[in-house]
Amino acid sequence: MFSLSNTTLSSSPDQDGCRYWTSFDPKSFSKGDRKKVFGGILNGKGPRRGEIVVIKAFKNMPGTESMCKTELCNNQKARELADGFNACYPFQHIEFSSILNALIDDVSVSYSLLNSNRKITKSEWVLMEENVGKHFVTFIDKHGVTSGDCPQALAAFMHWTYHVTSGQLVVCGLEGDQNMHACRLKTPTVHSINRQYGECDYGEAGINTVFRNHRCNNMCQDLIKPFNVNTQFPSTIYPSLPLEPSAPYEPDMFTFDDLQHEQRQLPSPTLYQSITTNYLLSQLDYNHHGDDCI
């Protein structure tokens, strides 16, 4: 039987445990670097039945379940962090769209006529994402570059995600719509130290690029940032810089009387390190063979 629209099988369950299938337009209305976007509608028995959603198909290759799960992980992490940020800064609500994944069930007969590039096929995976609004804006791109329309709270949220995860990741690529009370955003980009958030996760290099482009505002004053990144409000803690004592702790080196009468001067940390290193080496029996020191 020929179909006039593309359809999917039932989706992964949403936060209420409901599953939906979608019918969506044969022609995409937007394209990015990695995905094509179609307009669709949710079908099923849950409360979201009839809701307008966007269907995202991977642009350069058929989508797999693994690719979709990575997007779901990005979305879940962003939603968790947004909840934490909203609890700390309730004056500007930030929320991310919900997202589901499903297999293509049927492809429209008109799809082949309307699309000359890679065509979606049956049994490839697509994403079903909540529509965030009509006035779609890129507030912060995946490199941390901020637009003139970006609210202070969103720029601070990006910085805060790095702070609250102790420098393990940063959430950027913040795109969506806003009103007086909230920013509603699509699934963002996440750069992480372990590069666990897909092909757009550029790891530590991505984090550093974001902070080179980031301009701190008043909400960022007490937030940590990567070492060697200049911003308007320098932080006092750098997670990539190990915290070391300013002088060694050696109780036997001095007594209270020594300190009281200033009869003995403590060596500087550099001198102390040299002294102790030489002493330790003198106690070890080692042989030097080329570049190997045992």
What phi, psi does 184 have (nearest 5°)? -110, 120
Q: Domain check: are 144 and 257 in the same one?
A: yes
Q: Domain check: are 152 and 230 in the same one?
A: yes
Residues whose CB falls within 8 Å of the CB of residue 283, separated by 6 or more in sequence, listed in order: none
User: Of 103, 106, 73, 72, which is closest to residue 10 (Cα–Cα)?
Assistant: 103
Spatial distance between the Cα atoms of 54 and 214, rounded to a whole number of angstroms: 30
Which CATH number characterizes residue 247's domain?
Answer: 3.20.200.10
Q: Domain check: are 122 and 169 in the same one?
A: no
Task: Please check whether residue 64 lies inside any domain of the structure.
Answer: yes
Q: Which burial class, exposed, middle or buried, applies to 184 when counting CB atoms under 10 A from its CB (0-12, 13-18, 19+)?
A: middle
Q: Domain check: are 169 and 125 in the same one?
A: no
Q: Domain check: are 34 and 145 in the same one?
A: no
Which CATH number characterizes residue 15's domain?
Answer: 3.30.200.20
Give the containing element (helix H, strand E) for 23.
strand 21-24
Task: Please check whether residue 190 lies inside any domain of the structure.
Answer: yes
Task: Please check whether residue 184 lies inside any domain of the structure.
Answer: yes
Low-confidence ranges of the chain (pLDDT < 50): 1-2, 231, 233-238, 240-247, 249, 251, 253-256, 258-294
The C-alpha R_g of the chain, in whole angstroms, comes to 27
Task: Please check whether residue 291 lies inside any domain of the structure.
Answer: no
Report pTM.
0.74
Task: Please check whether residue 22 lies inside any domain of the structure.
Answer: yes
Q: What tens digit of pLDDT does each residue of 96-150 get? A: 999 999 999 998 876 555 555 778 888 899 999 999 887 889 999 999 999 998 9
Q: At what angle do helices 65-88 and 152-164 cross, to 10 degrees?
A: 110
Which range marks the domain in which residue 157 is found?
A: 135-271
When divided into structural domains, the chain yields a total of 2
Q: What tens digit of pLDDT does each residue of 19-32 get? A: 999 999 988 888 88
- The answer to whether 50 and 41 have CB atoms below 8 angstroms apart is yes
- Amino acid (one-letter) located at 111: Y
Task: Please check whether residue 156 lies inside any domain of the structure.
Answer: yes
Note the pLDDT of residue 250: 52
Task: Please check whether residue 257 lies inside any domain of the structure.
Answer: yes
Other CB atoms within 10 A of residue 45 CB: 8
Task: Please check whether residue 287 lies inside any domain of the structure.
Answer: no
Spatial distance between the Cα atoms of 106 and 24, rounded to a whole number of angstroms: 10
Give the containing element (helix H, strand E) for 113.
helix 111-114
Note the pLDDT of residue 252: 53
Q: Domain check: are 233 and 251 in the same one?
A: yes
Q: Domain check: are 48 and 71 in the same one?
A: yes
Q: Domain check: are 117 and 154 in the same one?
A: no
